[in-house]
């Protein structure tokens, strides 16, 4: 079975994506901070590995990926999904520590997990794999009062593009999925004023990317609720 690692797998999109990959025949390693939430995700997955992990801590990330390789021998797909909205408010109202925490989770965490996956994908035989980063609509268009979150998601786009270039020589395909208003706990506040959509469709999109041969790349995909205020306001 191919092996997928999903971060932020204890709830929301991470849980739905993990279930989608499992349904498509992947063994799925579940990374997240809360063991109980990861266990709940794992309950309906035949081949799951529960790995409580703080993606902001290098030693924690390295230990998680070592456990995946020890159990299953390789990493075929990484879904960098862990993230937080972070502080809301105009830039002068945002505490510096809250800014740093958001960067640590959303961007440094993605870098550390990509770093671990990339190294393993280079070493394994057959070599290669796929990294899929969750960018968000905020990688393109911000909401008011979201300087920290928006900055990290723009940074994720840069990370994705750099990894994609570096991965070419090693059969590592890297792409980004930008999601707008999937109906999860994180977006519950938008549901009263903006359209949302079933996050199962995000899982379908991620599975479609994950199952492609490594000779095919999806550099970027945008999936959103039809009618959300993104392309224009009406």
Residue pointed to by tokens 């020890």: 70
CB 31 within 8 A of CB 8: yes
Per the listing, tokens 């924690």 go with 60
* Dist CA 178 CA 135 (whole Å): 5
Classify residue 89: in a domain, yes or no: yes
In a domain, 56, yes or no: yes
Catalytic-role residue among 42, 149, 153, 209: 149
Cα 112 to Cα 175: distance, rounded to the nearest angstrom = 16
pLDDT at residue 186, rounded to an integer: 64
Quick check: is 80 in a domain?
yes
**Residue 137, domain member (yes or no):** yes
- Is 234 part of a structural domain of the chain? no
Exposure b/e, 141-166, CB count within 10 A at least 16 = b: eeeeebbbbbbbbbbbbebbeebbee
Q: Scanning the structure block, which residue is given the tokens 């901070």? A: 33
Please state the pTM of the whole predicted model.
Answer: 0.94
Rounded CA-CA distance 214/222 in Å is: 20
26 is in which domain, residue-wise?
3-224
Phi, psi of 180 (to 5 degrees): -125, 110
Q: In this structure, is residue 230 part of a structural domain?
A: no
The answer to the question of residue 84 being in a domain is yes
Q: Would residue 88 count as lying in a domain?
A: yes
Q: What is the residue-level pLDDT of the chain in tens, covering all 234 positions?
A: 999 999 999 999 999 999 999 999 999 999 999 999 999 999 999 999 999 999 999 999 999 999 999 999 999 999 999 999 999 999 999 999 999 999 999 999 999 999 999 999 999 999 999 999 999 999 998 889 999 999 999 999 999 999 999 999 999 999 999 999 998 776 666 557 788 999 999 999 999 999 999 999 999 999 999 988 876 654
DSSP string over 52-117: E--TT-HHHHHHHHHHHHHHHS---EEEE--------B-GGGS-HHHHHHHHIIIIIHHHHHHHHH
Give the model's pLDDT for residue 234. Answer: 44
Q: Would residue 149 show up in a list of annotated catalytic residues for this protein?
A: yes
Total structural domains within the chain: 1
CATH number of the domain enclosing 218: 3.40.50.720
The pLDDT value given to residue 220: 97
């Amino acid at each position: 079975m191919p092996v997928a690692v999903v971060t932020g797998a204890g709830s929301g999109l991470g849980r739905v994506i993990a279930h989608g990959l499992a349904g498509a025949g992947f063994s799925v390693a579940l990374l997240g901070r809360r063991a109980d939430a990861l266990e709940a995700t794992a309950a309906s997955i035949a081949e799951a590995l529960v790995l409580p992990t703080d993606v902001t801590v290098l030693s924690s990330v390295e230990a998680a990926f070592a456990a995946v390789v020890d159990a299953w021998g390789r990493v075929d797909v990484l879904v960098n999904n862990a993230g937080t909205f972070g502080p809301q408010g105009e830039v002068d109202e945002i505490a510096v520590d809250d800014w740093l925490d958001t960067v640590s989770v959303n961007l440094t965490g993605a870098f550390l997990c990509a770093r671990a996956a990339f190294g393993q994908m280079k070493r394994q035989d057959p070599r290669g794999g796929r990294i899929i980063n969750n960018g968000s609509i905020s990688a393109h268009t911000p909401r008011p009062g979201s300087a920290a979150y928006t900055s990290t998601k723009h940074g994720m786009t840069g990370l994705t593009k750099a990894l994609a270039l570096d991965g070419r020589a090693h059969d590592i395909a890297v792409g980004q999925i930008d999601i707008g208003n999937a109906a999860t706990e994180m977006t519950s506040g938008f549901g009263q004023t903006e359209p949302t959509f079933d996050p199962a469709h995000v899982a379908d999109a991620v599975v479609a990317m994950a199952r492609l041969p490594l000779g095919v790349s999806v550099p970027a995909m945008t999936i959103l609720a039809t009618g959300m205020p993104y392309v224009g306001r009406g």
